[in-house]
Structures are given as structure tokens and as C-alpha cells.
Amino acid sequence: MSLEDELLKQRWTRIREIEELGHRAYGKRFDFTHSIPRIVAEYGSKTAEELSPELKVRIAGRVKTIRSKGKAGFAHLAQNGEQLQIYVRSDAVSANDFRLFQILDIGDVVGAEGYLFRTRTGELSVHVERLEFLSKTLFSMPEKWHGLEDVEMRYRQRYLDLIANPDSRKVFVTRSKIIASFRRQLEERGFIEVETPMMQPLYGGATARPFITHHNALDIDLYLRIAPELYLKRLVVGGLERVYEINRNFRNEGLGFKYNPEFTMLEFYQAYTDYRGLMDLSAELLKQVALDATGGTEVEWNGARLDFGSLRRFSMREAVIEFWEGADRPTLDNVRDPQWLKRHSSKASSGEALAEIFERVAESQLGQPTIIYDFPVETSPLSKNKADEPELVERFEIFAGGMEIGNAYTELNDPQEQRRRFETQIGMRERGDEEAHQMDEDYVRALCYGMPPTGGEGIGIDRLTMLLTGSRTIRDVILFPLLRPEGEIGVAERLRALEP
RNA sequence: GGGCCGGUAGCUCAGGCGGUAGAGCAUUUGCCUUUUAAGCAAAGGGUCGCGGGUUCGAGUCCCGCCCGGCUCACCA
């Protein structure tokens, strides 16, 4: 028999022994008096004297370590990312409970009742008087010292990662704080949270290839949304002047350190403002999110310190000049000049050329949180033109850590212009651009009823979480990132084999 | 999709020159009533990712495949 099966059989056999000792292998409700984190916080710094008179506690947690010393022993229980030691001695508990302690496996979930004390070496511990068995682990836990290192297993069996690697747990706690911070800040400013379709008959609001699915009853193909944008703006037309949505977008594209096919986006729309207003709002939101998530505005990322307390601002043209490397640094006249742009890019139009040059020259250097504004109209089918420079639109993106983390603009609310933009996109599609927008007449119809001047913005929650948690890959901030299916697992077969 | 790297005990990793497969943790047994990567003594545990091939002999060499990581191209 393989070791793995031997261990499984051993634990399976142990279930009966646990039951013979008067416990259930898969126990019932257990009302603890204190969570382990609360005990650590409240009593972690108390001296031995301050812990008397005896404080009785009932705690519960997963067994992390066991150190048996004959007629006594120690174990660590973990709950919510914190650990507390228990001390079990044969003359302090019933014979059955001591036997139970002796047959505990690392990974079992137990409850313990006793009083707080400090050991000779000074560690805050529970002097156990009663044990209660709560749940049996049948498989062995990852190694105690190194944790779970196998990257594939960390993603496929995230629960093991969360049990074994406290840092991984912290990442997801921080992610939750980031989202909570956005919600709180937006609610304070009068935004309401809405939910718009994830399955859409037409996809739009971004340039990307969609996933396609099918609805049987209606017998229609639907697209998983690539963005909620067009629906959110319909709501602004309807008088929901400040709306936001935090939810998944789906894009049928490659995987990479900053790409997962489903990712979480915050989008918010505010009537009667424009992209300048959103720049200021973005700076406030990001600063406070960093504070709420990490306690400060500065984070270490990829060896650099990023400060979310202030956002640098460059126009796209300025950024090309600012971050140009090598000789022939262009002038402002150069980056405005169609001939110069044509010489430095293979793109057809001046606008696409500028965007392409910017991405090549500047994007990877935008480590510090930076706003890049005034984008070419060709790459922005839903943004309003600048009044004095119609080849540009009132749009900005937020970059940090060399990644785009936000995208915002003054929304185009002129239905006639919107129709022309869609038709331009259709032309691009006919020339082979698969990602060009489709015509969305229902959206144009909504604009025909009049949308107030509006600013809208999207912030990539996953990437922002990467930055605020020091994660080098998006898979470390998504609980269950997309992986190929792993094939035969064989657990059912192994469990079946245990039964008589 | 291309290139590079990896898959060895439940976990973390050695081995690589082709010649009976190793360590630590974990597990089992014994001793141990304030230990903490507890300690001491002993034991068990492996289709070396999968499938072919070369060879007297393959974890090791060759070919194909699977899974993963990094990276390039496309993409937020």
C-alpha cells in the first residue's frame, strides 16, 4: 500500500476511536467565548501575573502543530490567521480527552476549554480542561516549515494555500479591504451600487474578444460582458446620476502575469462632471484605498516604492517626450506632426500611431502612480472630443507598476457623434480589426433621450490589489485563477475503498 | 502559439557520470508533565508526470504527450 493510502486508512480507522471516546468525528456547533485573534490581541502582552485570576476561555481552531511529551503535550490551534498554543496534561483532563489529544492529527479541527496562562518560556497558552473534537482531516497537511510551495497546488487547492501560507490569506483579506474601501467611499459620495447584465446580446464598452454562450429557451447566442459601461450609462440617462458596479468582466484572451480571462472591475459614473473632475476623485479614492488596505500610502512593488498619496499627471504627448529614451527626443511639435508620427509607427492613423508610440516608449516606465490624459480619438470610441483639439478626447488612464489600472473619460453624450463613431468602428472591423466596436443602436437610442454631461471611470481591482499586496502575478490575487482541468482526481475511488 | 525551465515519499527538496532511490518535516512504535522547526531510539513509506524507444540494465540518454512556471507575441 502506498504511504498516501496508509495515512488515509490510519485516519479513517481513527474516526472510530474518536467516536469510542465519546466524540463525533464531524462534530456539532461549538460556541467559543473568544476567537483566537481576539485572545492574541487582548492577552498577548499580558504578564503571567496579569493573567490571574484564571480566565476561562473556550476556543476552536485547526491543529497546526503537536508536541507530545509523554503524559503532557502542546499543540497550536489556528483560527482566522492567528495561532494559540494549548497545553494538555493527563492530570488536568479526563482520560478520554487525553487519549483524544494523543490521537489528534495535524489538520484536525478541535475545540478546547481551559484557562489562559503563560508557559515557562513565556508563550501565552490555554491550560486545557476539556477537549471537543469538531472535524477530522483525512489527508495530511502541507509541511509546517516551508508551507505549501507547489504553485499549481496553491491555485488548484486554494484552501490548502490559505491554511498553510499566512501571507496568502493576508492578500485576500487586503483585497476585501480594497473593495470595501471603494464601496464606502463611493457610498459616502452618493453613489449607488447597481448590477447590470453579465450576459449581453451585444458586447461593448471595451475593445476585446468576448466569450460566447447560448440561451436555450430564447435560442439566442449571448456574450459574456467585456464591460458594463454601456448599461451603466443607460442608467445615467435614467436619472441614476451616480452609479457604480463592482463585478466581473470576461475577455477571451491570453493569460499572463496581469491577465486573467475573468477579472474584477469597478466602474462608476457621475453625472455633471468631466474627466478633470474624475482625476481629482481618482486621486482621493486611490489614496484612501491604499490607507484602508495597507495603513499607508506607500507600497513596495518590484523593488520600487510607489506612493498612492499623489498621482503624477502627463498628457499622452508629454509622456512620449518625458519618457523618450535615446537620441532625437521629440518636441511637442513633433508629437503633433502626422509626418513624425508616421515615421515612428506603422499604424495607419496619427492617433493610433501616437497611442502605439506611447505604449512602446512610456508605459513600462510608469511605476509611480501616474495619470496619462488626452488620448487620440481613434482609440476611444465612447469618449467626448476635446473642444479645442477634436483629434483628441477627454480621456485618461491611470498607470502604476508599469500596468494600466484605470481608465476614465468624459462620456460622449451626443447621439449623432456616437453614431458616427460606431460607424467608424464598423469600418475598422471590416478592415480586419476583430476588436472594434459593434453598433449598439439601443445605446444610441438611450443617448437620444439626453444623457447629462458625465464622467465615467473603470478601475481594475485585481491589478490594484497586486500593487497593494506586492503580488507579482494576478493569480496570487484571484482565489481561483483559470487553469487547465487537472483530469482524474480519484478521491471518490479512494473513499469508496475505505468502506466495507 | 514560440522559446526557456520544471514535475523524484503526504509536504519541502537533494541525486543526474546509465549499475539495488536519499534527507528533513509528516506517519508508526518506545521514553519523556512548561515544549515550540521539542529531544532521543527504532520502523514503515516511491509505477522518479505519462507513453514509446536505445541498452544486458533507464529516475538518469532519445522521441512523443500531459501539467505547471517564466518569457515573447495579442490583450485591462
Q: Which residue is nearest to nucleotide B38 (CA to C1')?
A: A67
The HSE-up count of residue A392 (CA atoms within 13 Å, CB side) is 19
Using omega within 30 degrees of 0 as the cis cutoff, is the peptide bond preceding A500 cis?
no
Whole-number average pLDDT of chain A: 94
Q: Is the sign of the CA dihedral A249, A251, A255, A257 positive or negative?
A: negative
Q: Is the CB of A220 under 7 A from strand B?
A: no
ipTM over 0.85: yes
* CA proximity to A205, closest of A234, A183, A182, A179: A234
Over residues A142-150, the mean pLDDT reads 92
pLDDT of residue A54: 86
Q: Between A331 and A432, where is the model more confident?
A: A331
Give the nucleotide at minimum CA-to-C1' distance from A76: B36
Q: Is the CB of A406 under 7 A from strand B?
A: no
Q: Between A193 and A379, where is the model more confident?
A: A193
The DSSP-derived string for A132-149 is EEEE---SPPPPTTT---
Q: Is the CB of A379 under 7 A from strand B?
A: no
Rounded to whole angstroms, the distance from the CA of residue A250 to the C1' of nucleotide B73 is: 21
The HSE-up count of residue A29 (CA atoms within 13 Å, CB side) is 2
Q: Is the CB of A380 under 7 A from strand B?
A: no
Give the nucleotide at minimum CA-to-C1' distance from A482: B68
For residues A405 and A399, the answer to whether their CB atoms sit within 8 Å is: yes
Over residues A453-482, the mean pLDDT reads 95
Q: Between A254 and A274, where is the model more confident?
A: A274
* Burial (CB count <10 Å: 0-12, 13-18, 19+), residue A225: buried
3-class DSSP state for residue A277? helix
Find the range with the poorest average confidence among A8-12, A338-342, A476-480, A482-486: A482-486
Give the nucleotide at minimum CA-to-C1' distance from A154: B68
Query: What does the pLDDT look like over A373-408, one tens digit per residue?
Result: 999 998 899 999 999 999 999 999 999 999 999 999
Rounded to whole angstroms, the distance from the CA of residue A475 to the C1' of nucleotide B63 is: 34
pLDDT of residue A165: 94
Rounded to whole angstroms, the distance from the CA of residue A475 to the C1' of nucleotide B26 is: 29
Q: Is the CB of A474 under 7 A from strand B?
A: yes
* β A192-193/A124-135 pair status: unpaired
Phi first, then psi, for residue A415 (nearest 5°) are -60, -35
Q: Is the CB of A144 under 7 A from strand B?
A: yes
Over residues A70-81, the mean pLDDT reads 96
Q: Is the CB of A483 under 7 A from strand B?
A: yes
Rounded to whole angstroms, the distance from the CA of residue A292 to the C1' of nucleotide B29 is: 53
Q: Is the CB of A142 under 7 A from strand B?
A: yes
For residues A105 and A88, give the distance between their C-alpha atoms in angstroms, rounded to a whole number.
Answer: 15
Per the structure, the residues numbered 338 to 357 in protein chain A that have their CB within 7 angstroms of any atom of strand B are none
Cell 479591504 locates to: A177
Over pLDDT 90: what percentage of chain A?
A: 82
Per the structure, the residues numbered 164 to 183 in protein chain A that have their CB within 7 angstroms of any atom of strand B are none
Q: Is the CB of A146 under 7 A from strand B?
A: yes
Per the structure, the residues numbered 299 to 338 in protein chain A that have their CB within 7 angstroms of any atom of strand B are none
What's the Cα-to-Cα distance from A478 to each of A85, A152, A235, rounded to whole Å? 32, 14, 29
Q: Is the sign of the CA dihedral A302, A251, A208, A375 positive or negative?
A: negative
Per the structure, the residues numbered 92 to 111 in protein chain A that have their CB within 7 angstroms of any atom of strand B are 103, 105-106
Query: What does the pLDDT look like over A217-249, one tens digit per residue?
Result: 999 999 999 999 999 999 999 999 999 999 999
CA dihedral A422, A424, A425, A427 (to 10 degrees): 130
pLDDT of residue A1: 61
Helix extents (H) in A165-239: 166-188, 229-237
Find the range with the poorest average confidence among A15-24, A153-162, A361-370, A427-436: A427-436
Q: Is the CB of A122 under 7 A from strand B?
A: yes
Over residues A249-253, the mean pLDDT reads 91
Chain B: bases < 7 Å from a protein Cβ: 1, 9-13, 24-28, 31-39, 44-47, 66-76
